[in-house]
Amino acid sequence: MVIKKIELPAFGDHVFYGEWQAYGKPNKVTRQRIYNFVRENDSTFRMNLHIFPMDSIFKAKTSGAHLHPDKLKSISPKDMYPLAGCDVFFKPGQNHFQGAMKKGDCSFEAPNTGTPIYSWSQMKLTGDTFEYLDGWFNLDGSIYYEISKEWYVFDKL
C-alpha cells in the first residue's frame, strides 16, 4: 500500500491518496482511496473515506497517482463510489491513534448477490506503521467475507 499526501482542495485540507497494489506487482492496483482528515471534536478525528469507482477506464487514468498527482486534479467527491457511514473515527492513545468505522454503519449490497452486508475497518497509526484490519459482515454480525484474519502492517518509509 502506498499513501501520499496530496493537494486536492475539492476533498478538503488534509487529503491523502491511498493505492493498494498486489504484493510484488506495483502495476496491479487492487484498491484506490482518497482520505481526508478533519477534527470531529477535541479528542476525535474523522477520516472521510472516498472509494474510487470500479470502472476500469477510471482506474487506468488514476492508477499511479502517488507518482503523478496530476492524474487526480480533475476528480471530486461526486466522482467517487457513494458509501455513506464508512468514515473512520480516530482517538489518540499512548504513542498512536486508534480508529474504527462505527460497526454496522458502512452498509451496502454484496457485489453480484444483492445480500445486505456491512464493512467494518479498524486502523492504528503510529510513528512507524499503519495497521489495518477489515472484513465484511452479515447484518447479524457473522462473517460474510474475511479479508484477513491478521492485521495488515505497513511500515512507513
Rounded to an integer, what distance in angstroms lies between the CA atom of residue 87 and that of residue 98?
A: 13
Query: 142 vs 111, which has greater pLDDT?
Result: 142
- Assign 120 a pLDDT band (cuts: 50, 70, 90): very high
Residue 22 scores a pLDDT above 90:
no
Average pLDDT, the chain: 92
**Which pLDDT does position 1 carry in this prediction?**
87
- Is residue 30 over pLDDT 70? yes
- Please return the burial class of 111, using the count of CB atoms within 10 Å of its CB with bins 0-12, 13-18 and 19+: exposed
CA dihedral 87, 135, 133, 25 (to 10 degrees): -100
pTM over cut 0.75: yes
Cα(30)–Cα(54) distance, integer angstroms: 10
The per-residue pLDDT for 75 is 95
pLDDT tens, position by position, 66-96: 999 999 999 999 999 888 899 999 999 889 9
Domain residues of the chain, as ranges? 1-81, 84-157
Residue 104 per-residue DSSP state: T
Residue 157 pLDDT > 80, yes or no? no
